[in-house]
A and B are shown apart, each in its own frame.
Chain A
Amino acid sequence: MTPAPTTDFGGQPGAAPTGVADPTTTTGRPAGPRPRRHGPRSAASWSRRRIGLNLLAVVVAIVVWHVAALAKNNALVFPTPVESARALVELVQDADSRSEVLITLWRVVVGFALGSTLGIAIASLLGSSRVAADALEPVVHFLRSITPVAWIVPATIWFGVGDASMRFIVIYATVFPVILNTLTGMTQAARNKTRMARVFGAGRLRTYRSVVIPSAVPYVLTGMRLALGYSFMSVIGAEMVAGSDGIGYLIYDARLFFDTPTMFAGILLIGAAGLAFDRVFVLATARIFRRFYCGQVAR
């Protein structure tokens, strides 16, 4: 079985870390790790080399950035990595701006939790009825096509400038990928499994509990992982346009004062925080929900 297309960026509903066997891509190769094509190198040694290459790429990028910034020689337009790092350290050391960072992270956590819960709840309702799913899936797709950033204006008018409208934006960004992936997961339970459950006399509820929900779990988690990325994206947007605190506001504020190094520090901070959250989410869920992946690697 080949891995499903990686869809780290978008809310493609069909994407999941694990999927139903796709008959068109079966190779006839026995299951298990891919045969080595580059000589007898152990997997452990390759993963060490990979980390080395990752680091190398980062170092090279920083050096290129530094040289480019020195060539530009204008910290207002293009600060060097050193200047940006200094701004980053200042940002984290200063108690005020540190609280801004924490505010943003808290918004992400709250919005993500509420949005995911709502998404799973809505999808479970829709998924239990074919008619409801058929009727409302297009609506979900329609709403998903509207970027959360575009809702900032109506949201601030309805909820005022502040936390309520930002929570609305983050929930809006998270709820749709979770709905779509959960729906897909619920319809992707292998037919033979549901058949088997019926043969053993399981009723509708029991089939749900024992077959449909377990096989939907990886899809739900994929949806939540996407949603986590979206909540980072949308919270920054909301804070920049309609906020008065948070990392997004810091970046916006730095732009007004032409404090480009701080702007870069903010951007670096978002990337790093997002990456850290993503890793924690993946590792934690892979551990907690391991049994739902039946032998496959959750990535």
Chain B
Amino acid sequence: MSVSTRTVRPTLVRRPGGAPRWRRALSIVGGFVAVVGLWWLAASFYGMPMLFPGPPDVVTQFRLVLADGSLAQAVSASLGRVAAGLVLGSLLGTLLGLLSGSSRVLEALLEPFISFFRFIPPLAWFAPILLWLGAGEPAKLTLILYTTVFVVAVNTAAGVRAVPENKLRMAATFGARPWQTFLLVRFPASAAYILAGIRIALGNAFMTVVTAEMLGAPFGLGVIVTNGMATTNIRGVFAALITLGALGLIADRLFVALLRRFGTRFGASPDVAR
């Protein structure tokens, strides 16, 4: 019996490490270059830089707003709102999630609200929030809180429920009290899930800050975007959109890097969602 010597190309099987680092970096740069090129083509095809600015127009705009400091002002205002909302929302969400995850009854009580509010965008709360809280910072914070708290809660609850049974058994065998089991077993074991939830909440916060700033604010990236309608300053809108996307992306990557550095102890695997 002869052994087939035909070499099989490893088509879909990937090495665990993936492509070498430099090739990955190169292809990422290539991707961005290709997209910018497409954008440039589309813009020059459209032919109206006032309405559809190309990359050079937007670069000029960036230089302008970087020089006069208005971009820095907008970024710091928006980032402050994102950070405050995210921290509050994550704390509250973790608390809610720990509660609902450790009791089926509490979970069943919270369930209907979580699945109902999921479909109501923050923008729909715009008017009630305006009526109740005015247009100030608390209103903006509430909107960001609204988009962060449920994600974290749902993920935390899933994490608490997914604690390996054997760990709980071991804790019971060693005579752990319920609060000890909770604090020393359930909470650390669900850390990975909590962090996954916070990561999504981070993205949501970056999205909602635009809506929140529609309420009116002295500074902010969302303000630039919203006012672009009235002032037809589309170049400014583009610069703000790109900044928003870049900030969101950088924050996400930073979070993943932190996870990789500090989260591995709790089994948080950033590679699940790269």
B-contacting residues of A (Cβ < 8 Å)? 2-3, 5-15, 22, 24-29, 34-35, 38, 46, 49-50, 53-54, 56-58, 61, 76-78, 130-131, 134-139, 141-147, 149-151, 153-154, 156-158, 184, 187, 189, 191, 194-195, 198, 204, 207-208, 211-212, 229, 232-234, 236-237, 240-241, 248, 251-252, 254-255, 260, 263-264, 266-267, 270-275, 278
> Which one of B115, B118, B211, B238 contacts A149 once the chains associate, using CB atoms below 8 Å?
B211
Closest to B106 in A: A53
| A138→B124 contact, CB < 8 A | no
Residues of A contacting B108 with CB < 8 Å? 49-50, 53-54, 57
| A7→B196 contact, CB < 8 A | yes
* Bound CA–CA A35/B13 (angstroms): 37
| A233→B121 contact, CB < 8 A | yes
Residues of B contacting A57 with CB < 8 Å? 108-113
* Bound CA–CA A236/B122 (angstroms): 10
Q: Chain B 78-117, CB within 8 Å of chain A: the 1/0 string?
A: 0000000000000000000000000011001111111111
Residues of A contacting B150 with CB < 8 Å? 9
Using known A-B contacts A46-B104, A139-B35, determine if residue A134 contacts B225 with beta carbons closer than 8 Å.
no
| A147→B131 contact, CB < 8 A | no
| A153→B121 contact, CB < 8 A | no
Using known A-B contacts A142-B249, A147-B211, A153-B229, determine if residue A77 contacts B31 with beta carbons closer than 8 Å.
no
A29 to chain B, nearest CB (A): 5
| A198→B8 contact, CB < 8 A | yes
A158 to chain B, nearest CB (A): 7
* Bound CA–CA A29/B104 (angstroms): 21
Chain A interface SS verdict (over half): helix
Count B-side interface residues using an 8 Å CB cutoff. Answer: 93
Within 8 A of A (CB), among B41-90: 51-52
Using known A-B contacts A145-B244, A145-B248, A260-B131, determine if residue A10 contacts B151 with beta carbons closer than 8 Å.
yes
| A58→B241 contact, CB < 8 A | no
* Bound CA–CA A79/B186 (angstroms): 41
> Which one of B8, B117, B130 contacts A271 once the chains associate, using CB atoms below 8 Å?
B117
Residues of A contacting B234 with CB < 8 Å? 153-154, 157
| A61→B119 contact, CB < 8 A | no
Task: Name 18 extra pairs, CB < 8 A, besides A6-B155, A273-B119.
Answer: A10-B151, A25-B267, A27-B164, A27-B165, A53-B109, A57-B112, A58-B112, A61-B113, A138-B28, A138-B31, A139-B35, A147-B210, A151-B241, A154-B238, A189-B12, A194-B13, A248-B123, A271-B117
Closest 10 A-B residue pairs measured CB to CB?
A274-B119, A145-B248, A10-B200, A135-B31, A14-B273, A147-B207, A53-B108, A233-B121, A14-B272, A2-B162
Most buried by B among A5, A15, A151, A275: A5
Residues of B contacting A15 with CB < 8 Å? 196, 273
Closest to B192 in A: A5
A-contacting residues of B (Cβ < 8 Å)? 8, 11-14, 19, 23-24, 27-28, 30-32, 34-35, 51-52, 104-105, 108-121, 123-128, 130-132, 147, 150-151, 154-155, 157-159, 161-162, 164-166, 192-193, 196-197, 199-201, 203-204, 206-208, 210-211, 214, 222, 225-226, 228-229, 232, 234, 237-238, 240-241, 244-249, 252, 267, 269, 272-274
* Bound CA–CA A252/B108 (angstroms): 33
Closest to A138 in B: B28
| A240→B200 contact, CB < 8 A | no
Closest to A279 in B: B115
Closest to A50 in B: B108
Residues of B contacting A264 with CB < 8 Å? 128
| B154→A9 contact, CB < 8 A | yes
Most buried by A among B119, B125, B166: B119
Residues of A contacting B147 with CB < 8 Å? 9
| A195→B13 contact, CB < 8 A | yes
